[in-house]
Amino acid sequence: MKSDPTDRFVEEIGRAVWLGSEVKPFINDGDIMDEAVQKNGIDLTIDKIIQLMGCPSFSHNKDYEERCVHMEIEPQSITGLDSPGWNLGPGEYVIQWNEKIKIPTLAIGLLLPRSSMLRNGITINGAVWDRGYEGKGQSLMIVGSNGVLIERFYRAAQMIFIGAIDDGESYEGQYQGENLYVEEKEENKD
């Protein structure tokens, strides 16, 4: 009998999408609120919002590549919100997530917006989070024509893990450890 290629996939990886309870130990080392644990992922909360300014350029020449200028928007007390947050007009913003994410070597991470965001004209885009990545990542948030009032630490997106074959290699790119040691570096400047 001829073997089905999906048999190998299921045997080596198991389920394609992990349960939220299986993802939990890899988000803030498992130290997260129970209500953030969903059936197939973990809700992430907004720590910082950054305004994109200027025009980026992309080139194969790494010396030439330039990024947009980023300006962090400080959360403020806003009428209608229970805690400090942001009053954002339409446009593109970078979100820095509050939670430390550690992608295991048997999975990749995908970040998707919560449906409450989409229903209100806001989307959040995230790239593939590679096996072995660790850090407090960032994502793009696009606010529609109505703008938004949003509290700091609002649960805005969900991280899901999809099984992957561990080939012995994991992420070693420039964003490994991103935003984990920012406070420590700033303290050492003084």
SS3 state at 61 = coil
pLDDT in tens, 120-155: 999 999 999 999 999 999 999 999 999 999 999 999
User: Looking at the 3D structure of the chain, how many domains does it have?
Assistant: 1
- CATH number, domain with residue 181: 2.70.40.10
Band (pLDDT 50/70/90 cuts) for residue 159 is very high
Phi, then psi, of 45 in degrees rounded to 5:
-115, 150
Q: Are strands 91-97 and 41-53 parallel, antiparallel or unpaired?
A: antiparallel
* Residue 110 buriedness (CB in 10 A; 0-12 / 13-18 / 19+): middle
Closest CA to 125 of 146, 139, 107: 139
Q: Please name the residue that has the structure tokens 């403020």.
A: 76
Nearest to 108 by CA among 164, 54, 51: 164
Strongest mean pLDDT among 8-17, 63-72, 79-88, 166-175: 79-88
What does the alpha-carbon distance between residue 85 and residue 153 come to, in Å, rounded to a whole number? 9
Q: Which two tokens stand for residue 32?
A: 């997260």
Instruction: Give me the pLDDT at residue 107, please.
Output: 93
Q: Which of 29, 33, 31, 56 lies closest to 140, judged by CA?
A: 56
Token couple for 17: 């999408």
Overall average pLDDT of the 64-72 stretch = 71
* Residue 104 structural domain: 5-189
Burial of residue 133 (CB within 10 Å: 0-12, 13-18, 19+) is buried
Taken in order 161, 124, 64, 136, is the CA torsion positive or negative?
negative
- Between residues 144 and 57, which one has the greater pLDDT? 144
Q: Residue 179: how many CB atoms within 10 A of its CB?
A: 17
pTM of the full predicted structure?
Answer: 0.82
